[in-house]
Amino acid sequence: MRKTFKTLLLALPLAMAGITAAQADNASAEGRWRQIDPDTHRAKSIVEISRTSNGTLHGRIIELLNPSRPNPTCDKCSDDRKGKPITGMEIIRGMRADGANKWSGGSILKPDEGKVYKSKMELIEGGRKLQVSGCIAFICKSQVWERM
């Protein structure tokens, strides 16, 4: 009985460290996200968000789900992404931390329109979802992405 109690006392700090590490992972937007179309409520792509050397976040489409044509390119883009394949394309650029679980100051590209929007992101539902907004002037549209 005494041995079991000692084992439990030793295991408790390890279990708490594991819970803290899991919460820390969910406190970051880094990782893979399923982009959900707000109109159809279907997943459109898989986006991987990572941190750059200067501390900002950027995101790339790593997989298109049910593309309208094979190997689509960003024909409507007007910047350095024009004519490049959408799979592998950086669509989120320059997002900086803006408080706890929030990022702003960057931009997001909507490849099917070729438009770049000012963007902000916020973790919601304990880090299981990411609310991503794109804005032109005071008009904003949001999507909720799901963590994979």
Q: Is 14 helix (H, G, I), strand (E, B) or coil?
A: helix
Q: Mean pLDDT over residues 98-126, rounded?
A: 95
Q: What pTM value is reported for the model?
A: 0.80
Q: With the C-alpha atoms ordered 108, 93, 91, 100, is the resulting torsion angle positive or negative?
A: negative
The lowest-confidence range among 31-40, 81-90, 122-131 is 31-40
Share of the chain above pLDDT 90, in %: 72
- Residue 101 is part of a domain; what is its CATH number? 2.40.128.520
Residue-wise pLDDT for 31-41, tens only, equals: 999 999 888 89
pLDDT at 29 over 60: yes
- Please report whether residue 56 resides in a domain: yes
Instruction: Give me the mean pLDDT over the 90-97 stretch.
Output: 97
pLDDT (0 to 100) of residue 68: 85
Is 138 contained in some domain? yes
Residue 102 or 19, more confident: 102
- pLDDT for residue 137: 87
In a domain, 21, yes or no: no
Domain that holds residue 94: 31-147
Give the integer Cα–Cα distance in Å for 127 and 40.
23
pLDDT-derived band at 5 (thresholds 50, 70, 90) equals very low
Confidence at 22, pLDDT banded by 50, 70, 90 = very low
Residue 131 inside a domain? The answer is yes
Asked if residue 108 is part of any domain, the answer here is yes
Residue 133 lies inside a defined structural domain of this protein: yes
State whether the Cα torsion 122-46-38-134 is positive or negative.
positive
Evaluate whether residue 35 is within a structural domain. yes
In a domain, 77, yes or no: yes
Question: Into how many domains does the chain fold?
Answer: 1
Mean pLDDT of 4-24: 45
